[in-house]
Homo-oligomer: A and B are copies of this chain.
């Protein structure tokens, strides 16, 4: 089969990075015990503990839908609720998975200005009701970075965890692109997670260069009780676990996770830098991770499509471009050039 030209519609379009692939290949030798009782799984879990500088509990799930939903289900009973941003992936793009895994825990949307939750917004929702007809708030979930590519600072996470502790809430971080946030922040992974008060992190591997797989890290180990049973029952226990674990070893042991994310972020900056100030074209959000959201007239988007580009669009005329570990800078430049060209033509025509 021939290869398609690189598109930036999604960072899920990329394949498996060399480090993850090599680790899978190395794991594919001989026999190994099943269900996680193998050396690769232990090594991968230890690699997370080393990276995060703490004795966290580590579990491996197949994808982010499951990782986040299982983590939230572990923190909630069915009559509890989860406070999230209106733009949170769990709210907008999981087809009801959190409600399914938890058997009914309701997501409560807190209003924020730019997709990030604030302590005030959390407090407003959490304290809005205390009667039995309202599902009891129990967890706050934040997406780091957000769906539109903004990164919570350490201070922001600390402020959120402070209000969580005050109100008896747990703090969950959906880190489908966690590596990209760390790459931007330049901090230790521990600083933006447990040291800042995060209880559970879902660390995404797929968008970071793996074929499949997310890790669920419980920094509050008591919350991990029986989580292995929960994964098993929910169809998230791999029998040949080594193949879910080994890529993590490849990603973590030599820093590929961070290199991949840095490269992707750099490509986003590269595009953003080349299209700023073009007529009619605006960045919808600050570019802080691996995505660029471009507001442009429909004619511009149409022109890009005509030149072969694929991308997701938003109501009101926005286009999303996401960069993966293997984004080709030359291809990024092509995209920038096409945006320039099309926006120039459109401005002329207007």
**Chain B residues, Cβ within 8 Å of A324:** 31
**Option from B4, B97, B133, B226 in Cβ contact (under 8 Å) with A234:** B97
**Chain B residues, Cβ within 8 Å of A101:** 104, 235
Residue A285 CB within 8 A of the other chain: no
**Chain B residues, Cβ within 8 Å of A144:** none
* Contact status B238-A235, CB under 8 Å: no
Report the stretch among A57-65, A115-123, A187-195, A287-295 that lies at the interface: A57-65
Q: How far is the CA of A32 from the CA of B96 in the complex (A)?
A: 26
Residue A305 CB within 8 A of the other chain: no
Distance (whole angstroms) from the CB of A190 to the closest CB of chain B = 27
Q: How far is the CA of A152 from the CA of B343 in the complex (A)?
A: 48
**Chain B residues, Cβ within 8 Å of A103:** 78, 99-100, 103-104
Q: How far is the CA of A15 from the CA of B226 in the complex (A)?
A: 28
**Option from B62, B81, B206 in Cβ contact (under 8 Å) with A96:** B81
**Chain B residues, Cβ within 8 Å of A211:** 24, 28, 240, 243
**Option from B27, B34, B81, B106 in Cβ contact (under 8 Å) with A12:** B34
Q: How far is the CA of A230 from the CA of B212 in the complex (A)?
A: 19
* Contact status B104-A100, CB under 8 Å: yes
* Contact status A63-B6, CB under 8 Å: no
Measured CB to CB, the nearest residue on chain B to A43 is B1
Residue A311 CB within 8 A of the other chain: no
Distance (whole angstroms) from the CB of A334 to the closest CB of chain B = 14
**Option from B12, B70, B238 in Cβ contact (under 8 Å) with A240:** B12
Please judge, given known A-B contacts A96-B79, A212-B240, whether A235 and B31 are in contact too, CB under 8 Å.
no
Please judge, given known A-B contacts A69-B235, A103-B78, A243-B212, whether A229 and B132 are in contact too, CB under 8 Å.
yes
Residue A309 CB within 8 A of the other chain: no
Residue A3 CB within 8 A of the other chain: yes
Residue A16 CB within 8 A of the other chain: yes
Residue A95 CB within 8 A of the other chain: yes
In the complex, the 3 A-B pairs of residues with the closest C-beta atoms, listed nearest first = A66-B235, A100-B104, A3-B30
Query: Can you list 21 A-B contacts with CB-CB less than 8 angstroms, sorted by A residue number?
Result: A3-B30, A4-B32, A7-B31, A13-B33, A14-B31, A15-B28, A31-B324, A61-B235, A62-B62, A62-B212, A79-B229, A94-B232, A95-B106, A95-B135, A97-B104, A99-B99, A100-B103, A100-B233, A103-B104, A132-B237, A212-B212
